[in-house]
Structure 1
Amino acid sequence: MSTLLKVQGVHTFYGSIEALKGVDLEVGTGEIVTLIGANGAGKSTLLMTICGNPHPRGGRIYFEGEDITGRPTYEIIRRGIAQSPEGRRIFPRMTVLENLQMGSITARPGSFDTELERVLTLFPRLKERIGQRAGTMSGGEQQMLAIGRALMSQPKMLLLDEPSLGLAPLVVKQIFEVVKEINREQKMTIFMVEQNAYHALKLAHRAYVMVTGRITMSGTGAQLLADPEVRAAYLEGGH
């Protein structure tokens, strides 16, 4: 398996505050890799740094073997990275269809209809809501739209930032099932930040644990799910 994404010794700052303190990790082609950790650990900062905003002050980021450190975000996206951001950030006044059109801006010309059909097959609820303003939908539907919008760009790697945040347990299960299906059917590489450690580790091929800007542990999803330290910190008291 080839390495699609390589993060090497990355340091990211907000002003004088160091949010990422020498992060090293890799994501292989076709893998689901998850990053777990407490609130404020730096997980979302890492995804944003990969996408070029903010730029790291130290270390390098490689995608498909090419150094993308410090490149502008639009260039990184055009290389095949798409993000479904924390809090969804859909365009609330636009319809579902218009949101999906926005996601397809960097896709291959002539591919819109095929990709739209694929997304609406994955998320039948979006098909029902195709002409509805996105801001009037439920949280779960908006999360489906955020993921669908990212998929419309035909990415080589999908970044998911807290896809289960604020959703009902049944909807969370649906979202994770779709993530698994995207990976299995489309061979999509997925790097996911998730606070719901139980679901994330069950889904992931490999996983990392982040504590205050540093990677403290890594292994297969199953290994971390069974690790007493991980269980005590992230899994005790229910899933």
Structure 2
Amino acid sequence: MSLTMEAGAQARSAATEALLQVRGVKTYYGKIIALKGVDLDVNRGEIVTLIGANGAGKSTLMMTVFGSPRAREGSIRFEGAEITHLPMHEIARLKIAQSPEGRRIFPRMTVFENLQMGSVLGDPAHFDADLERMFTLFPRLKERIHQRGGTLSGGEQQMLAIARALMSRPKLLLLDEPSLGLAPLIVKQIFDAIRMLNETEGLTVFLVEQNAYHALKLAHRGYVMVNGTITMSGTGRELLAREEVRAAYLEGGRH
């Protein structure tokens, strides 16, 4: 095993306590309850995925972790500290980075400028090295470095959104629907990049994904959400083998 892969394995095995703990979280939109008492853990060095149908509450949970919307009940802890009521900018300072659904890059800024924005909370001394890391991870971005974000293809925009989040050197990456609307080859490239970051750098990833097959193949552990409630959990392999998961989420998903 290489030293970098060994570091990733050690990061996973060293953590007995959860990096992220979600306990009894309830989130509302007005009077409508979107999350109905969610419990979930993400351990340091893990890839944990949350799967479920469209509208199940997956993205709401990820946004609640990042502080918008707020959890009305329950507790969210990061590295043992309560973050449930922290402002979003303070959550970001704790080295939690989010690549949100729909990419939300800065369309009028160039690739380089988008990556600069992502590095605002990082150490300026690491900027050049981090930039090269992103270009190694996503060579297409280097080719497009002076191109405006809004003129990139959907796959390139997703790569840019992830790279921008990684520029802050996060301890936890919140990744929301990275495969949405992308061609299978681009999806594979993005999932391979996530796997490599986890294996070589021990990056902890909480992944919300509708493509259950790819997500569960990638993840160490997974949760299934139905109507704002966690209904199943297990290793990625265990959930892939569950008949009810296969019937509900994997039909036609192997692409």
Q: Common fold, TM-score beyond 0.5? A: yes
Q: 1:238 to 1:189 in 2, by over 3 A?
A: closer
Quote the residue 1:127 is aligned against. Answer: 142
- Whether the 8 Å contact between 2:109 and 2:149 is mirrored in structure 1 is yes
Equivalent residue in structure 1 for 2:125, among 91, 103, 110: 110
Deviations 1:171-210 (A, max 9, x none): 1111110010111111100000000000000000000000
The whole-number CA distance in structure 2 between the counterparts of 1:155 and 1:167 is 25
Quote the residue 2:108 is aligned against. Answer: 93
CA RMSD after TM alignment: 0.7
DSSP-derived class of the 1:19 partner: strand
Quote the residue 1:187 is aligned against. Answer: 202
Deviations 1:54-82 (A, max 9, x none): 11000000000000011000000000100
Structure 1 gaps of 5+ residues are: none
Quote the residue 2:59 is aligned against. Answer: 44
Give the CA deviation at 1:238.
4.2
Structure 2 gaps of 5+ residues are: 1-14
User: Which amino acid in structure 1 is aligned with residue 138 of structure 2?
Assistant: F
Quote the residue 1:75 is aligned against. Answer: 90
Deviations 1:130-188 (A, max 9, x none): 00011111100000000000000110000100000000011111111001011111110
The whole-number CA distance in structure 1 between the counterparts of 2:29 and 2:57 is 11
1:233 aligns with 2:248: yes
Quote the residue 2:185 is aligned against. Answer: 170
1:213 aligns with 2:228: yes
Quote the residue 2:161 is aligned against. Answer: 146
Using the size of structure 1 for normalisation, the TM-score is 0.99
Deviations 1:11-38 (A, max 9, x none): 0001001000000000000000000000
The whole-number CA distance in structure 1 between the counterparts of 2:95 and 2:47 is 16
The whole-number CA distance in structure 2 between the counterparts of 1:142 and 1:8 is 33
Give the CA deviation at 1:7.
0.2
Quote the residue 2:11 is aligned against. Answer: none
DSSP-derived class of the 1:111 partner: helix
1:57 aligns with 2:76: no
Quote the residue 2:8 is aligned against. Answer: none
Give the CA deviation at 1:237.
3.3
User: Which amino acid in structure 1 is aligned with residue 131 of structure 2?
Assistant: L
Give the CA deviation at 1:109.
3.3
The whole-number CA distance in structure 2 between the counterparts of 1:116 and 1:17 is 43
Q: How many residues align?
A: 239
Give the CA deviation at 1:108.
2.0
User: Which amino acid in structure 1 is aligned with residue 118 of structure 2?
Assistant: G
The whole-number CA distance in structure 2 between the counterparts of 1:147 and 1:209 is 24
Runs of 4 or more, structure 1, over 6 Å off, are none
The whole-number CA distance in structure 1 between the counterparts of 2:192 and 2:41 is 24
